[in-house]
Amino acid sequence: MNDDARLRFSIDTDICAGHGRCFVLAPDAFVSDDVGYGQVNERAFPSGERRAMDDIAFSCPEGAISIREITG
Ligand code: SF4
């Protein structure tokens, strides 16, 4: 893993409505489950990609995507 890979996406599964934008826009970060709901893969991203990650998170119509910093 990249030493600067400090950020990960999260999906609030209580909010996700299965629009599928996340895995269409960022197939390296999200996949579809068996019924079309987004799932996060475990890829971490460097902090320099925060802005692009924010754009992807904002593209979710339900606001279900957040970004968390990996600690420790
Ligand atoms: S774009 Fe949002 S609502 Fe649609 S599948 Fe992804 S997380 Fe769920």
Whether residue 1 has pLDDT greater than 60: no
- The pTM score is 0.90
Average pLDDT value over all residues in the chain:
93
Which protein residues touch ligand 1 with a CB less than 6 Å away? 11, 16-22, 37-38, 60, 62, 64-65
- How far is residue 37's CA from residue 23's CA, in Å, rounded to a whole number? 9
Q: What is the DSSP letter of 36?
A: S
63: confidence class by pLDDT, cuts 50, 70, 90: very high
Closest protein CA for atom 4 of ligand 1 = 19
Rounded mean pLDDT of 13-40? 96
Q: Which atom of ligand 1 is nearest to the CA of 12?
A: 7
Whether residue 55 has pLDDT greater than 70: yes
3: confidence class by pLDDT, cuts 50, 70, 90: low
